[in-house]
Amino acid sequence: MKKYLFLLPLLLLGSAKMYGQSIKFDQLVNLATLNNDAVYATLKQGNAFKQDYLEEVDGQQMEYFNSIGAKPGSEKIAAGSFVKLYNGTVLRTLEYTSTDVQNIINMAGQAKRYGLDLLFRGVDETDNIYLYSNSLYMVNIRIRRDQTMGVVEIKQKEYLGLE
């Protein structure tokens, strides 16, 4: 009888639908450094996102991806935005959006563990705002105050290394 009482919670736990975020912060940072073709190949290989559509915005080819996991479409990635510097260096921007605010909160914790410094924490009319930075990236995390969605924007910075 004791065996059955022990197995019952395990069976119930095992049958519960598990859900987690489809991508981690360090993977997003890696994607932020890649061109659109490489982002597409990486996300396709990971089997967590599918390409939704392409569009041209201000002369830049933007690609949009949706999650295909337990909650399809709850997570989105936008890639393709960039700034080209005078020396030809391309600084890219990647945006991750989730309707599950816990995913964004997890990303903020992962950003701290990644070694980014919290530069600013504040609020505006609609969002809680967190700005993180290091010598390579500026990360803007925004969580809607009504807890309906959040955004993580990762921008590459110009690295001024001494040679």
pLDDT value for 1: 52
3-state secondary structure of 88: coil
- E-assigned strands of 33-134? 49-57, 60-67, 75-84, 90-98, 117-123, 127-133
Q: What is the DSSP letter of 24?
A: -
Rounded CA gap, 141 and 160, in Å?
25
Give pLDDT, residue 158.
86
Confidence band, pLDDT 50/70/90 cuts, at residue 160: low
41-80 pLDDT per residue, tens: 999 898 899 999 999 998 899 999 999 977 887 999 999 9
pTM of the model: 0.84
pLDDT digits (tens, 9 = 90+) for 83-111: 999 988 999 999 999 999 999 999 999 99
150's tokens:
């959040």
Angstrom distance (rounded) from CA 90 to CA 159: 11
Mean pLDDT of the chain: 86
